[in-house]
Structure 1
Amino acid sequence: MNLGINIIKRNKFPRSNGGLVSLFIILLFFSSLNYSSVHGFQGIMPTSFGARQAGMGGAFQAIGGSVMDLESNPSHLARLTTPKWEFGTSVHFARIEYSDSFMDQDPNLSYQNKIVETPRAVFPYIGYIQPVTDRLGIGFALYTQGGGGGSFSNITRISPGKQSLNDTLNGDVPFGTERKIQEDLKFKFMLTKLTIGAGYRFGNLSVGLGLDLAYAFMEMKKTNLDLSRTIELPGSIAYNSDPAYSYGGKLGFSYDLSSNVRIAYSYTLRNVLHMDGQIKVEGEDPIIKNGSRVSRYMVWPDRHIFGISYRTNSWIFDFDIKFIPWSRSFRTNRFVLDQPLVTTPIGLESNVMQMNFRWRDQYCFALGAEYEWKYGFRFRGGYSYAKTPMTPQGLNPMLGTTNEHHLAGGLGYYTSNGSALHLAVEYAFPKSMKGSESSDWALSHSIFSAKEIQLAQFQFNKSVSVLSISFGIEKNI
């Protein structure tokens, strides 16, 4: 099995059980808007949620006044003076550059790959907030919070065990002496949330609570093909998760130190997503596809955000610090099959596959400003930095981004009847990362048998850049 995973010999254990909740039908409909591979920008999370926030580089924790406060800090709902609905979307245009090479003593087995993919992703949002009293505000928001993925085709590889096509198929076929194959990869993960929340004000202090209902799914497919791309070969695998549902919550505080300065803090709980599903493995007989139920779960991490804002008659400034403990949830992930269908490069059969991401914790810093000009126009700008949580030991072409520096600008137009239009553009600068020889991805492409291990011969790199365009409309009622 050549998928960038470790396969462990282990007895199976019972699958986790998860119930379907009819409330999430709306989430299923909402998620259908995400029609392509999705990409986040700080790990697998966007830097911002909402078009106004995007124009300020995601620096919005201590500002408030948006429906998407339900995503970041619901305490700001306590300061509402009028009902408001808001909707919008962000369209992310990613550029993924992946390259690898393998140098063998036999020059006929050496290869190089260089692939550039330009997927796009749509992250929509919609919500409604309203004051109940001069101290209490409530609301709801539905939004896509994150995801990751990619699609790569026509990757040159060496066949498992360096077998010829004739040996693999146990026959005599055209190009039967060829020991190279083609590999196609597809991976997709998406998480959508519905948040219902409220904020209450005690003098200068506001406190907010939110209930998060989450929906997620994952697809993963690796296909081995002969060089003519007509025969699917052993080692191909396809996994589709069942719809996964979870609940969580968030707690937010904001305090007005003066009429100009506000500080804020919020904590969002993690979501445990039970992603049992179905897996199919292409065995030695190309006509027979072996299928099995698979048990697995993944954890969407918790999050801490602190922010401080300063405002004058014309200016608003905000500085945020965000902490995401990726290492607790994106270190390893296991797939446990009902039966041992997978074979390791050294010939062992197993029912457990383990993916080692080895992500590290992440601190994110964002600085943003908004200037109120005249004729209802507001100009925005922002910058954010976060060291990528990916490590060379966990690098692979499918999940996670390498971006660290993000620059954003935006424009808002407010009318006299309470409507507003927001536009924003953000660019995540490209950053290249070289994979480690000890990574799962390298091991899976350099071990052919117990006696043929060629770790130093396989090298790979990944670089990601993203251009994001955000659009939003809000209306005071």
Structure 2
Amino acid sequence: MKKLAVLLSLLLLADVSHAAGFALYEFSARTTAMGGAAMANQAEAASIAVNPALITELEGTQAQLGVTAVTAHAKTTVAGQARTLKDDVWMLPNFFVTHKMSDDVTFGLGGFSRYGLGGEYKNWQSWSGSQLAYRVKLETFSFTPTIAVKANEELSVAMGLEAMVIGFTQNSTLMPGPMAERAAYKISGSGVSWGGNFSFIYRPQWAEKWSLGAMYRTKVKQELSGRLNAGVEYGDPINIYNANAKGSIALPDSISAGLSFRPTEKWTLEAGIVGTFWSSYDQILIEYKEMENTPTIHNKKDYKDAYRLNLGAEYKINQNWAARAGYVYDKSPINEKSMDTLVPVDDRHIASVGIGYTQDRWSVDVAYAHIFSKDLSGTTSAQFGSQPIKYSDGRSDMYALTVGYKF
């Protein structure tokens, strides 16, 4: 019993930790089209998720509602056995509302996802990689009330809270092969935690074509509670284990910045960077409440600090139409000595395009982005026998739609 509990604990830890390393940046169609390079140029309600200080430039009450559809393909090879992900579509909804309370103070509220992943491998029953995970669904949704203040004609600052809701379900098996389905188990859990952000936008009057924006997000420590449900064959009949569990996981802090240049009235260009301090993400704790003699598990991780570089451009075709494009280089924090099956991608290149239409009080934006992922070879962690593992054929498509209205 103790051996089984410890093994299941290690499996859970590997999965959740990698899920936490998968960040999302698709907050609006305009942001997606410009590769996330929207920190220091035109304000929109969705700026709450990118640079909240920008919302001081919005008049009255404004709202945006959007969704991004994501499809993904990837192949993972463990100990010479390759499996691909099943075809699926994942939806990422978002909403944003801003209200100008006075000439200098604006309130905003946003709801969006900052972390998430999902997928299931085909023919997992005979695959050794199913011991790590063959199906996972992790969802987060953040609610961010924000206050932005116009300090003077050049500088605006903002501060916001973040209430992040997290939920996950993960399936693995202890014995790949004929008994894989009977030896499968499921772990599910949820939690709510708090964080914050601080941002500014600076538009110098002595350099009117330039602007600079930046934001810092605090670390968010998740306290999770959930269930373990497992049926494992040790003779006849099958032993069923059900237990409550609790754990903690700290999502790292990050800092982002963007520099925008407007060479003409029609063109807007921006370059930006996001740095995420994954090296501060040191351990995960898991404890089973109803399994006697099972210790709290301390799992050390060896993640690397990661960065994301982006370039974006917008061209105002006329008063109503705008065309956009972007490029992103997204550095992965994955350690080649502790790879798993949950996020089978390495460094990513993202190319994106989009178009926007504005008429009176309404606006509609659409975007498309394609993700190319590098192949990566390494080993699983020592707790899984340091088996050879490789990620390949990683690619993804994103389709974004945002509708806005000015009240």
TM-score normalised by the chain length of structure 2: 0.87
Is 2:378 the counterpart of 1:409?
no
Q: What is residue 327 of structure 1 aligned with on the other side?
A: 279
Q: What is residue 475 of structure 1 aligned with on the other side?
A: 405
8 A Cα contact 1:44 1:401, kept in partner:
no
1:245 is displaced (CA, Å) by 0.9
1:119 is displaced (CA, Å) by 3.1
Deviations 1:294-346 (A, max 9, x none): 221111222111111112311111111111112222x54232223558xxxxx
Is 2:273 the counterpart of 1:304?
no
In structure 2, the CA distance between the partners of 1:81 and 1:338, relative to structure 1 (3 Å rule), is closer
In structure 2, the CA distance between the partners of 1:270 and 1:184, relative to structure 1 (3 Å rule), is closer
In structure 2, the CA distance between the partners of 1:80 and 1:249, relative to structure 1 (3 Å rule), is same
Is 2:214 the counterpart of 1:265?
yes
1:265 is displaced (CA, Å) by 1.4
Is 2:158 the counterpart of 1:208?
yes
C-alpha distance in structure 2 between counterparts of 1:352 and 1:282, whole Å: 22
Q: What is residue 66 of structure 2 aligned with on the other side?
A: 88
Is 2:245 the counterpart of 1:240?
no
Matches within 5 A, 1:6-85: 43-85=21-63
Is 2:17 the counterpart of 1:5?
no
Matches within 5 A, 1:125-204: 125-155=94-124, 156=126, 185-203=134-152, 204=154
1:320 alignment partner AA: G
In structure 2, the CA distance between the partners of 1:183 and 1:302, relative to structure 1 (3 Å rule), is closer
1:227 is displaced (CA, Å) by 4.7
In structure 2, the CA distance between the partners of 1:395 and 1:231, relative to structure 1 (3 Å rule), is closer
8 A Cα contact 1:323 1:363, kept in partner:
yes
Is 2:100 the counterpart of 1:100?
no
SS of the residue 2:375 aligns to: strand
Which is greater in Rg?
Answer: 1
8 A Cα contact 1:78 1:198, kept in partner:
no
Q: What is residue 120 of structure 1 aligned with on the other side?
A: 89
C-alpha distance in structure 2 between counterparts of 1:45 and 1:207, whole Å: 25
2:388 alignment partner AA: Q
1:225 is displaced (CA, Å) by 6.2
Q: Which runs of 5+ in 1 are unaligned?
A: 9-38, 103-111, 160-180, 342-348, 447-454
2:185 alignment partner AA: I
In structure 2, the CA distance between the partners of 1:67 and 1:304, relative to structure 1 (3 Å rule), is same
Is 2:328 the counterpart of 1:359?
no
C-alpha distance in structure 2 between counterparts of 1:71 and 1:337, whole Å: 36
SS of the residue 1:318 aligns to: strand
Is 2:196 the counterpart of 1:256?
no
8 A Cα contact 2:220 2:252, kept in partner:
yes
Q: Number of residues paired by the alignment? A: 390
1:389 is displaced (CA, Å) by 0.9
SS of the residue 1:58 aligns to: coil
RMSD value, Cα? 2.9
Matches within 5 A, 1:342-421: 350-353=294-297, 357-374=301-318, 376-399=320-343, 401-415=345-359, 417-421=360-364
